[in-house]
Structure 1
């Protein structure tokens, strides 16, 4: 349905030949699900901080680099969604 986040239907979004996937912190914990569909896939999901364990500066920079890749792709989808 329209109210389901992509991370909940990840296996349906993969065709099996992917080598990498990028996701926001909602995709944390989906590595095994992705690998069951695409065995050689590498996880480029953002690291999630918690109340008791804040992100280090290095983790924040890593997340920023990953997000910059995702933003380029998601911007195109935003334009398409607005058109239709």
Structure 2
């Protein structure tokens, strides 16, 4: 069996589109998860406990702020891209 004819050479393909798609997917997953967590927390506290609207909203806001601080892009990570 002879060699297969191919124009592919390892390491020479432009992967900018794949990287952009991956970064978008990771970002949507990260921020979407935070939104779901805050929403579930709010609804659970509002309907299943005596916290009421203000207590549930305050808890959801606190979790959202902490999540944004933890999940935002780090300066050294942004410089590497």
Shared fold (TM-score, shorter chain, > 0.5):
no
Q: Which structure's relative contact order is higher, taking Cα pairs within 8 Å and 6+ residues apart?
A: 1
Which of the five TM-score ranges fits, normalised by the shorter chain? 0.3 to 0.5
Length-normalised TM-score, structure 2:
0.36
Larger helix proportion of the pair: 2
Larger strand proportion of the pair: 1
Length-normalised TM-score, structure 1:
0.36
